[in-house]
Chain A
Amino acid sequence: MSNGNKLPRSSEHSAERRRFIAGTAQAAGSVSLVGLLLASYGEQARTHPVAALRPPGAIDEQDFLGACVRCGLCVRDCPFDTLRLARFGESMATGTPYFIARDVPCEMCTDIPCAAACPTDALSKSLTDIGDADMGVAVVTGTDTCYSITGVAHCTACYFACPIKNEAITMEMKQENGKVFFVPTVHREHCTGCGKCEKDCILPEAAIKVLPRDLVSHDSGAHID
Chain B
Amino acid sequence: MIETAPARRSLWQRQRWLTLRRSSQLAILGLFLIGPWFDIWWAKGNLAASLWFDTIPLTDPMIVVQSFVALGEVTATALVGAVLVAGFYVMVGGRVFCSWVCPVNIITDAAHWTRQRLRIPPGWRPHPALRMWLLAMCVATSAWTGTIVWELVNPVTLVQRGIVFGLGFGWIIIASIFLFDVVVSRRGWCGHLCPVGAFYGILGVASPVRIAAVAREACSDCGDCFEVCPEPQVITPALRGVDQSTRVIVARDCTNCGRCIDVCPDEVFRFAWRYGAEPTVATPERTNKPS
User: Which positions in A face B, CB cutoff 8 Å?
Assistant: 23-24, 26-28, 30-32, 34-35, 38-39, 41-43, 45-46, 62-63, 65-73, 75-77, 84-85, 87-90, 93-95, 117, 119-121
Contacts and interface: CB of A to CB of B under 8 A. Distances in A.
Contact of A66 (B59, B67, B136, B170): B67
A23 B78 CA distance: 38
A38 B149 contact: yes
A85 B168 CA distance: 10
B48 A70 contact: yes
A87 B127 contact: no
Contacts of A89: 168-170, 172
A31 to B, nearest CB: 4
Interface of B: 35, 41, 44-46, 48-51, 57, 59-60, 63-64, 67, 70-71, 74-75, 77-78, 81, 126-127, 129-130, 133-134, 136-137, 140-142, 144-153, 157-158, 161-162, 164-170, 172-173
Contacts of A66: 67, 70-71, 142, 146-148
A82 to B, nearest CB: 14
B165 A75 contact: yes
A120 B162 contact: no
Contacts, number: 152
A35 B139 CA distance: 10
Nearest to A96: B151
Contacts of A69: 48-49, 59-60, 63-64, 67, 78, 148, 151
A88 B78 CA distance: 24
A145 B5 CA distance: 86
Nearest to A125: B75
The dominant DSSP class at the A interface is helix
B165 A72 contact: yes
A45 B41 CA distance: 31
A90 B172 CA distance: 13
Contact of A27 (B130, B140, B170): B130
A138 B32 CA distance: 37
Contacts of B151: 69-70, 93-95
B134 A72 contact: no
Contact of A119 (B49, B127, B146, B162): B49
Given A27-B127, A35-B137, A65 B165 contact: no
A31 B150 CA distance: 13
B173 A88 contact: yes
A177 B62 CA distance: 67
Contacts of B44: 72-73, 76-77
A72 B161 contact: yes
Nearest to B134: A31
A41 B59 contact: no
A99 to B, nearest CB: 14
Contacts of A77: 44
Contacts of B134: 31, 34
